């Protein structure tokens, strides 16, 4: 009988929107280097395009093979996928919520989730609290980190 990995959700304090791409890239790089696959959820197309570009350039001499899900030709071989809607049958280890008003219904497919606790906007702050509560209710061990 195989043991299920512990489910952990990490929320990072986000003091400004400019911090987000760096954090997404840092988390992605960390898990890629550990041999894990990473799904980056960015329902906003402009943000998805920005993250696609930033993953190529965020660190000199760093290469993280990635693809936008809508550009994938079967079979999916890239360890990092950026997508804007339900990824369907795609199974990855880590989910990074680059932007989300609510928690997508399929979030619990992932054993590790990264999200943002936006502190510079009250509306986004409450949405983050709601996502935090949903992860906790789903049995994730919760972590909060300051940026």
Residue 51, token pair as written in the block: 């993250």
pLDDT bracket for residue 65 (50, 70, 90): confident
Examine the pLDDT at 60 and tell me if it is beyond 80: no
| Crossing angle of helices 20-33 and 45-57, rounded to 10° | 60
Total-model pTM: 0.89
CB 20 within 8 A of CB 114: no
Which residue is associated with the tokens 């003091």? 15
What distance lies between CA 106 and its chain's CA centroid? 13
Q: How far apart are CA 72 and CA 87, in angstroms?
A: 12
Residues contacting residue 20 through CB under 8 Å, at least 6 positions apart = 14, 98, 116
Q: How far apart are CA 147 and CA 144, in angstroms?
A: 10
Sign of the C-alpha dihedral, residues 73, 75, 81, 87?
positive
Order of all β-strands in the sheet with 8-14: 66-68, 80-83, 38-41, 94-97, 112-118, 8-14, 141-145
Mean pLDDT value of segment 46-72: 79
Q: How far apart are CA 24 and CA 80, in angstroms?
A: 12
Provide CATH code, domain 8-106+120-137.
3.40.50.10110
- Which H or E run includes 129? helix 122-137
pLDDT, one tens digit per residue, over 94-115 is 999 998 777 888 898 899 999 9
Domain boundaries, the chain: 8-106+120-137
């Amino acid at each position: 009988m195989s043991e299920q990995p512990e489910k952990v959700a990490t929320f990072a304090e986000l003091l400004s929107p400019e911090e987000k791409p760096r954090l997404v890239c840092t988390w992605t790089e960390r898990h890629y280097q550990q041999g894990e696959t990473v799904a980056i959820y960015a329902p906003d197309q402009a943000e998805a395009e920005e993250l696609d570009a930033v993953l190529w350039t965020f660190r000199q001499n760093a290469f993280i093979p990635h693809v936008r899900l809508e550009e994938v030709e079967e079979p999916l071989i890239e360890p990092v996928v950026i997508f804007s809607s339900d990824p369907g049958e795609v199974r990855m280890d880590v989910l990074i919520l680059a932007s989300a008003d609510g928690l997508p219904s399929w979030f619990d497919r992932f054993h590790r989730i990264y999200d943002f606790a936006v502190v510079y906007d009250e509306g986004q702050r409450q949405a983050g609290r709601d996502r935090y509560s949903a992860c906790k209710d789903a049995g994730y061990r919760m972590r909060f980190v300051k940026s």
